Amino acid sequence: MQTWTIQRLLNWVTEHFTKKGIDSPRLSAELLLSCVLAMKRIELYTQFDKAVDKQQLDRLHELVERAGQNEPIAYLTGKTEFYSLQLDVTPDCMIPRPETELLVERAIEFLRTRPGKQFVCDLCTGCGCIAIAIAKNCANADIIATDISDAALNIAAGNVEKHQLGDRIRLLCGDLFDAFVPQLDVDKFDLIVCNPPYVSAAEFEKLDKNIKDYEPKSALFAGADGLDIHRRICEKADRFLKPDAALMLEVGFTQGKAIKELLEQTGTFAEIKIKKDPNGNDRIATAVKVSS
Ligand SMILES: C[S@@+](CC[C@H](N)C(=O)[O-])C[C@H]1O[C@@H](n2cnc3c(N)ncnc32)[C@H](O)[C@@H]1O
């Protein structure tokens, strides 16, 4: 019988995923195999001829089956990468998306133009990806990150600890700004960032199986037009922003115009911009509060 080496397994799983229509079949195969063998991806290539034992083969087989049923690879491995940072994820939190890195970039750019300590609020933090990426790249930022899901915040807490940011990121549970405890928490920020749920009722029905069946609905769905949470943030943001502070929101690719109108209606902001992602879709709304 032929031995199952790393090389042979990688080729087999890649071919299997290609037939099943799994996204990025080679990368997905590498991620599952490196998880099962507790190796870095690069080590798979330096140990191509290593034989894989029966127990590991059984584990890989189970994960490949589940991936074939559209279970996201990040949930199977329990890990993902965001802004070049390793983060833990479970089905209790949404898997961070590459588009959200644009929001982080805008946030970092803004914070780097400002001297002194910067207070940042990351609403809807999920696994903590935005807060952690900002904290890692802006040494002068202190961050309060909130989420309505205790389970998601548990994952965020693990990630904050893993990146040794416990002294700069505080996690609070609650409905948007309601998480703050009056008198105890900072409640005037230099920057509020948020990647809220923004999927509409019609879009939710059409989501891919790997999203709809596995990621938390509360992280995705935001009412009939997908703007429920944006609307509530726009209504309340003024009270929590310092003069000259900024609000930055991720938006759905059809929502740019509607969000711009929502922000304009507040009368709070001077510069309102909708930035596109590399695919030319509306992605980030930025707004700077008028000075007085
Ligand atoms: C789209 S996910 C974003 C997670 C993470 N910030 C990211 O970019 O990957 C939205 C998050 O908002 C949280 N959420 C939903 N409704 C909320 C509310 N009313 N108040 C606070 N958080 C809420 C969900 O639990 C979920 O973690």
Q: Is the CB of 178 under 6 A from ligand 1?
A: no
What is the amino acid identity at position 157?
Answer: A
pLDDT of residue 292: 67
Nearest residue by C-alpha to atom 7 in ligand 1: 96
In 3D space, the residue among 128, 143, 116 whose CA is nearest the CA of residue 195 turns out to be 128
Contact 87 CB / ligand 1 (< 6 Å): no
CB atoms within 10 A of CB 97: 13
Q: Whose CA is nearest to atom 12 of ligand 1?
A: 124
Query: What pLDDT score does 184 carry?
Result: 76
Whether 23 lines ligand 1, by a CB cut-off of 6 Å, is no
Distance CA 277, CA 255 (A): 13
Domain ranges of the chain: 6-69, 92-289
Contact 94 CB / ligand 1 (< 6 Å): yes
Give me ligand 1 centre to Cα 197, in Å: 6
Place of tokens 């589940």: 66
In the 3-class helix/strand/coil scheme, how is 137-182 assigned residue by residue? HCCCEEEEEEECCHHHHHHHHHHHHHCCCCCCEEEEECCHHHHCCC
CA distance 147 to 127: 9
pLDDT attached to residue 160: 98
Res 123: pLDDT: 98
Question: Could you identify the atom of ligand 1 that is nearest to the CA of residue 250?
Answer: 8
Residues in the chain, pLDDT under 50: none
Q: Rounded to the nearest whole angstrom, what is the distance from the C-alpha of residue 153 to the centroid of ligand 1?
A: 10
Return the exposure string of 150-163: e unless at least 16 CB atoms fall within 10 Å of the residue's CB, then b: eebbbbbbebbeeb
Ligand 1 within 6 A of CB of 149:
yes
| Protein residue with least CA distance to atom 6, ligand 1 | 125
CATH number of 92-289: 3.40.50.150
Output the residue whose Cα is nearest ligand 1's atom 18.
175
Tell me how far apart the alpha carbons of residues 101 and 254 are, in angstroms, rounded to a whole number.
Answer: 19
Which residue has the least CA distance to atom 26 on ligand 1?
Answer: 219
- The number of residues making up the chain comes to 292
Read off the pLDDT of residues 74-109 as tens digits, 9 standing for 90 and up. Answer: 999 999 999 999 999 999 999 999 999 999 999 999
